[in-house]
Amino acid sequence: MKSNWKLLALMALLSSVITLAAYNLLGFNNRDVIFNESSPIQAMTGRLASMPGGPTAVPGDFSTAAEAVTPTVVHIRTTMTRTVRQQQVPDIFREFFGDEFGGQRQPRRQQGQASGSGVIISKDGYIVTNNHVVQDADEVEVIMTDKRSFKAKVIGTDPLTDLAVIKVEANNLPAITLGDSDALKLGEWVLAVGYPLDLESTVTAGIVSAKGRRIGILDQNINKNDAKPDSPVEAFIQTDAAINPGNSGGALVNLRGELVGINSAIASATGYYSGYGFAVPVSLVKKVSADLLKYGNVQRGYIGILPIELNSTIAKEKGSKVGRGIYVESVVEKGAAEAAGLKKGDVIVKMEGQSLDSDAQMREIIGRRRPGDVVNVTVNRDGSERDFKVELRNRNGGRDVIKKSDVTAATTSLSTLGASFEDLSAQDAKQLGVSGGVRVKKITDGKLAETDVEEGFIIVKANGKNVKTTKDLQTILAAVKEGEGLMLIGMYPNSSRMYYYAVPV
């Protein structure tokens, strides 16, 4: 009995040390946020299972984990306003009958609602969810399992990992314990907890079907107006636990009730569960949420290579002596890899001691780190292995963190227009009789959606200045002061008429 008390005291001390270390290391001390992390001492798991007050679940018994986790997963309801654009009237009818042909073409503002899930990560009200759950939301409501309701504030979002942090003003909330997604094994039991299809709290069970899975779903979030856009980080945990719309942002937990992932997507032709769901690993969740709280944006480290994922065919084409790993097609001049000594033709076979099998796996490992962090890399060069220490850089080539306030103002401003743009080709410019211009490729939600501007519009002037490239438009927009507007002048293809649009900024 005495030995059990000694072991319990030791475990309590270790848990306190782990919590305090996470508290300082992840930067939550700036926001007074403390969360629980599981003990990494796996050897004691079997003994803990028989101790009073410890986990009592046996393989196949999901009740202990379900009871522990359910109170920490919340229902999120959002209200948003979207712009509904009416069908474009062909230019030929406008030329003959005027702009009013076909009725009023003013865009309409329409309010909508959506729902998802979230996971409480601290007792004082910080909650992790998916970016797509709270994106563009005017109001966010959080409903607890005990029916209490709170208005929430969005602290930060990251579309490239589909994660977000929100905050409710409450104390002594039940916070989940963060587990270790690296320790997950294929075939291990996991539970998905959330609010699917706007139902009450729901628990489903399945196994880990795959790890490090890339499905390309986040490619749509790449900022196409950025000259150097960041790439999404997709290294999902794949599971066959039933996940449906509304589960997004909910918890994926192991049988100890520890968070191992945030449910994010499903693979389905119908939009509903059909066998596979995908969750962001908690190793990435920890880093992204810490960055959003401390800096307001995610600090991304860059290794500075053009990577190619090897298979037997590509290895033969490249003359590589190994068939698995990441082939270095080129290194960025004065980048992290070049400074460390990596060269074109090297094959990265290990990173941080893990064997590399995919580009997604490499990006996830780097995605957990910040500029200035050192990554241990093992390279196969001409048949022999060599170890390198690579100090990651930021997107500007430095080692410092880039705060949200330091993000390029021009890129941020252009994104507020809510559209994607492309430079007019020389051939198109010649046909239109202009020296250059910028075409509006696609309009989503934003300032342009509130005007009569239609897709295909070619901007040739903005605020009286010539616009020949997207960079010109960025520069002009960045100079617009608060309260001022943007006057766009341009034309549509197959129309000689010039159009003038006033855009609120």
> Which 3 state secondary structure label does DSSP give 354?
strand
Which CB contacts under 8 angstroms, 24+ apart, belong to 439-442?
none
Per-residue CA distances from 355 to 48, 210, 236, 365 (Å): 32, 16, 17, 11
- HEC profile for 153-216? EEEEEECCCCEEEEEECCCCCCCCEECCHHHCCCCCEEEEEECHHHCCCEEEEEEEEEEEECCC
Stretch (H or E) spanning 387: strand 384-391
Q: At what angle do helices 282-294 and 359-367 cross, to 10 degrees?
A: 40
Could you give the CA distance from residue 171 to residue 124 in angstroms, rounded to a whole number? 4
In the DSSP assignment, the letter for residue 44 is G
Contact 287, 26 (CB under 8 A): yes
Name the residue among 255, 440, 464, 287 with its Cα closest to residue 371.
287
Rounded CA-CA distance 51/70 in Å is 23
- Positions annotated as catalytic residues are 132, 162, 248
Question: How far apart are alpha carbons 178 and 262 in whole angstroms?
Answer: 11
Place of tokens 């069908």: 87
What does the angle CA 63 – CA 69 – CA 72 come to, to the nearest 5 degrees? 155
Residue with tokens 């500007």: 396
**What is the number of other CB atoms lying within 10 angstroms of the CB of residue 387?**
9
